[in-house]
Amino acid sequence: MLLWLCAALAITAGTITGRAAEYPSRPVRFVVPFPPSGGTDIVARLLAQQLAERMGQQFVIDNRPGAASTIGAQIAARAAADGYTLLLVTASYAISASFYRTLPYDSVSDFDAVARVASGPLLVVVHPSVKVGSMKELIALAKAAPNKMNYASGGPGGINHLAGEMLKIMSGTRIVHVPYKGAGPALTGLIGGEVQMMVATLGSALTHVRNGKLKALATGGGRRSSILPELPTVAESGVPGYAADNWYGILAPRNVPPAILRELDKHIAAALSTDTVRERFTSVGFEPSPSTPAQFAEYLRAEIRKWNRVMKEAGIESE
């Protein structure tokens, strides 16, 4: 009996190892739950190209936009757990876990974490007419005139919205939320002076900061950005513990063989270490952020908990 069990285990281990050695033997579908434009598409296509070159098979981009990325996530959740369907996720994925009352998938238990690939801090920007030169001065101005200052977002439940609400909560300020139909219109409104401030993605705001149309006060990440190293973080500027990043990661349907996850992680980490990827990511406001599957799984759970807490403290109801 013991010999039979050992033989069975050996066969199983050999089968799994064989699958990993053969993987990928056909094209891999890379579901991107956003339209084929902007920074998200740049990140996805660059990664797909790098993985195809390293692993000898096509990684085919499958854009499935809609419903704040939940349509694409549902498609990936229902796919076979064989490593031939991957899902690109961003910070909005962690927000959606609490923002929507019901989802057609479980944000944690229906997926395996593969790797976090990129991160970019959010950027606190103000219209040049706002007479402040630092985050501390902005907070003081907001406290001196409650509900007089307003901030733009790309709409309820977006990263700009929740990062703004978290800033209000942690700084003890009362700033009015002005939602727009998208982050692009929100930035346009800010540049035009319709609102005073915004917690924007670094990539979207950087050009406007450099040409003087917006004034940057602080970055929202846990550490200073290598893209704007001279700019302090919000946490350094009087709001300790504040951390709001936009990030990208890769998930797979639950129960992909661990050997395949390790194979993917190895090649993703190698791709992220190249100058080509680093320079391209920097051009859209991101830095490579390689991680193991376990590290990304824990990071994702922490992000879901964080945004859930912000929603509760801000009184934002699920939709």
Residue 5 lies in a domain: no
Residue 34 lies in a domain: yes
Residue 215 lies in a domain: yes
In this structure, are 105 and 252 located in the same domain?
Answer: yes
In this structure, are 274 and 308 located in the same domain?
Answer: yes
Domain holding 171: CATH number? 3.40.190.10
In this structure, are 80 and 150 located in the same domain?
Answer: no
In this structure, are 35 and 90 located in the same domain?
Answer: yes
Listed residues 237, 254, 274: the one ending a domain: 237
In which region does residue 155 sit, left (phi positive, over 0), alpha (psi from -120 to 50) or beta (all else)?
A: left
Listed residues 186, 207, 237: the one ending a domain: 237
In this structure, are 79 and 95 located in the same domain?
Answer: yes
Residue 113 lies in a domain: yes
Low-confidence ranges of the chain (pLDDT < 70): 1-21
DSSP 232: P
Question: Number of structural domains, the chain?
Answer: 2
In this structure, are 40 and 104 located in the same domain?
Answer: yes
Backbone dihedral angles phi then psi of residue 87, each to the nearest 5 degrees: -130, 125
> Helices 258-272 and 2-22 sit at what angle, rounded to 10 degrees?
30
What is the per-residue pLDDT for 37? 79
In the block, which residue shows the tokens 């406001």? 285
CA 72 to the chain's CA centroid: 15
With beta carbons less than 8 A apart as the criterion, state whether 77 and 47 touch: no
What is the per-residue pLDDT for 285? 86
Listed residues 210, 237, 264: the one ending a domain: 237
* Segments forming the whole domain that contains residue 33: 27-120+245-314
**Cis peptide bond upstream of 24, omega within 30:** yes
In this structure, are 126 and 116 located in the same domain?
Answer: no
185's tokens: 């219109």
In this structure, are 134 and 185 located in the same domain?
Answer: yes
3-state secondary structure of 218: strand
Residue 269 makes CB contacts below 8 A (sequence gap 6+) with 115, 290
In which region does residue 307 sit, left (phi positive, over 0), alpha (psi from -120 to 50) or beta (all else)?
A: alpha
In this structure, are 136 and 157 located in the same domain?
Answer: yes
Q: Counting runs of H as helices and runs of E as strands, what totals does the chain give?
A: 11, 10
CA-closest candidate to residue 219, choices 205, 50, 210: 205
Domain holding 40: CATH number? 3.40.190.150
Residue 269 lies in a domain: yes
What is the per-residue pLDDT for 193? 97
Residue 6 lies in a domain: no
At residue 235's C-alpha, the angle toward residues 231 and 240, to 5°, is 165
In this structure, are 76 and 95 located in the same domain?
Answer: yes
Residue 4 lies in a domain: no
In this structure, are 113 and 179 located in the same domain?
Answer: no
CA 24 to the chain's CA centroid: 26
Residue 12 lies in a domain: no
In this structure, are 210 and 129 located in the same domain?
Answer: yes
What is the per-residue pLDDT for 123? 96
Please state the pTM of the whole predicted model.
0.89
